[in-house]
């Protein structure tokens, strides 16, 4: 499915469930990983995660589209469009949208690179140790335990 098909799909859902046309842009955004979609307040555009379609199918994405259209229509009508607003919750329930999107399988999530600790700050008075990933100036800080002077040491990274 491409952006043009998504645009037509959202326009159809908007007319069918809300009775109001969707007059802005809709597109897929492959960078969306922790959310199913998002609505932009300034441009009124909607972005949908293609990973949700791939992982959970069209039914789940339709619920996400309804969720984003609730934000869209309520915001344009200057009504309560935020998640906490009663109007939003009521409209979402009426159209059958999802409150939360299903989580992606771990195979679709990006791998996080874990940085090793490279530095250690050690208190000269009490011996308290603070490990850090980035270099910092020990003269600007004091020990949190005894307010003693800190010394910077480079750790061996394996």
Q: What is the pLDDT of residues 18-65, one digit of tens each?
A: 999 999 999 999 998 888 999 999 999 999 999 999 989 999 999 999
Give, as one character, the DSSP assignment of residue 23. -
* Helix, strand, coil percentages in the chain from 3-state DSSP, rounded to 5: 35, 15, 45
Find the helix or strand (DSSP H, E) in which 153 lies. strand 150-154
Among 68, 120, 151, 156, the one annotated catalytic:
68
* Ranges of H-type helices in 1-156: 3-13, 50-56, 58-76, 86-95
> Active-site residue 151, yes or no?
no
User: Distance (Å, rounded) from C-alpha 86 to C-alpha 92?
Assistant: 10
Higher pLDDT pick, 112 / 131: 131
User: Distance (Å, rounded) from C-alpha 46 to C-alpha 27?
Assistant: 7
- CATH of range 3-108; options 3.20.20.70, 3.40.50.150, 1.10.3720.10, 3.30.2010.10: 3.30.2010.10
67: buried, middle or exposed (CB in 10 Å: 19+, 13-18, 0-12)? buried
**Residues 70-127: tens digit of each pLDDT:** 999 999 999 999 999 999 999 999 999 988 877 777 666 666 778 899 999 999 999 9
């Amino acid at each position: 499915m491409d952006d043009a098909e998504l645009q037509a799909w959202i326009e159809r859902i908007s007319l069918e469930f809300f009775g109001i046309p969707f007059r802005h842009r809709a597109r897929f955004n492959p960078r969306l990983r922790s959310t199913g979609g998002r609505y932009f307040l300034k441009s009124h555009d909607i972005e949908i995660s293609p990973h949700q379609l791939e992982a959970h199918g069209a039914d789940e994405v339709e619920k996400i589209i309804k969720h984003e259209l609730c934000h869209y229509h309520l915001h344009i009508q200057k009504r309560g469009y935020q998640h906490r607003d009663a109007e939003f919750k009521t409209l979402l329930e009426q159209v059958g949208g999802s409150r939360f999107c299903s989580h992606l399988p771990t195979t679709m999530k990006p791998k996080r690179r874990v940085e090793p600790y490279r530095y250690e700050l050690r208190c000269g008075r009490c011996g308290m140790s603070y490990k850090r990933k980035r270099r910092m100036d020990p003269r600007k800080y004091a020990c949190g335990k005894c307010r003693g002077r800190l010394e910077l040491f480079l750790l061996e990274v394996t």
